[in-house]
Amino acid sequence: MTALILDGKHVAQLTEAQLSERVTTLKAQSDGRTPVLATLLVGDDPASATYVKMKGNACRRVGMESLAIELPASTKTNDLLREIEQLNQNPDVHGILLQHPVPSQIDERACFDMIALEKDVDGVTCLGFGRMAMGERAYGCATPQGIMRLLRHYDIGLEGLHAVVVGRSPILGKPMSMMLLEANATVTICHSRTRDLEGHVRQADLIVGAVGRPEFIRADWIKDGAVVVDAGYHPGGVGDIELGPLAERTTAITPVPGGVGPMTINTLIQQTVESGERALS
């Protein structure tokens, strides 16, 4: 058995071509206005700066504008809350991205939750999470939503599968688990206090690695024929799962790099276009 490669780079490129057309149509219908993504970067972490830059570049590739706001590392929670409130009130802004993580003196959860639901295109608010978990309309959290889009693109049926998600972070493991549940998978969520992780992983029809440790989930824990989704990315081009030996004995696999990674930014951009369409058309 040779695994189907779930090629996120390819799907993201296809989607960008469609998004460019949607932005062009919207511009023609709304006096040249485009969807606008506001990005908030607090502090001087170089990795965060790179991610924000990549998000701005992705906006430009589909003809959208972005508004980059940079705040000093000394920013306090109240300063950031005020900044977000202004963006909530700004009719020219359709999506707000607060780059995670923010400096430790800031209450990140309070700031995420200040983002208005209709502009929460990165899917980070408690309200959006709760609505999504209840099957109500909300923008999905970008990385897990990107994974769901990737699985859908390749027609991976999820109903009835036993999905095991390793990781329970607010931006990845938790929303991922709820999305899989909504798609009628039976979901096990594992974390750092889980007993017998290997035993849980062995039962997975679909495994999602969202641990943040290079090749932590070993190939020989994963059963033949499983669907393998690796959200991790580490120096040396490895993910959270030992993928090498799996390509010959699983059903489908996300490569690292080029699997989950490109789908995250693509989902953010797609959801901003949707928000722009709702506001402008």
Which residue ranges make up the site for ligand NAP (CB under 6 A)?
143, 166-169, 171-173, 190-194, 197, 210-212, 231-233, 240, 260-261, 264
Which residues are CB-neighbours of 234 under 8 A, at least 6 positions away?
214, 240
- DSSP codes of every residue in 192-248: TT-S-HHHHHHT-SEEEE-SSSTT-B-GGGSPTT-EEEE---BTTTB-SB--GGGTT
What is the distance between the alpha carbons of residues 12 and 259, in angstroms, rounded to a whole number? 10
- CA dihedral sign of residues 16, 153, 117, 129: negative
Let me know if 76 is a catalytic residue. no
Active site residue 271: no
Cis previous bond, 101, omega within 30: yes
> Considering 7, 99, 174, 270, which one is annotated as catalytic?
99
Question: Is 55 in the active site?
Answer: yes
* Among 152, 157, 160, 222, residue whose Cα is nearest residue 187: 160
Q: 281: Cβ–Cβ under 8 A, 6 or more apart, which residues?
A: 26, 29, 30
- Decide whether 34 or 266 has the Cβ nearer to ligand NAP: 266
Catalytic residue among 7, 55, 145, 270: 55
Instruction: For helices 142-153 and 8-29, give the axis angle rounded to 10 degrees.
Output: 100
Q: Which of 7, 119, 120, 122 is catalytic?
A: 122
Measured from the CB atom, the residue of 128 and 167 that comes closer to ligand NAP is 167
SS3 (DSSP) at 187: strand
Amino acid at 119: K
In the complex, least distance from residue 63 CB atom to ligand NAP, rounded to whole angstroms: 23
Q: Which is nearer to ligand NAP, 26 or 256 (CB)?
A: 256
Residue matched to tokens 């001087």: 44
Catalytic (active-site) positions: 55, 99, 122
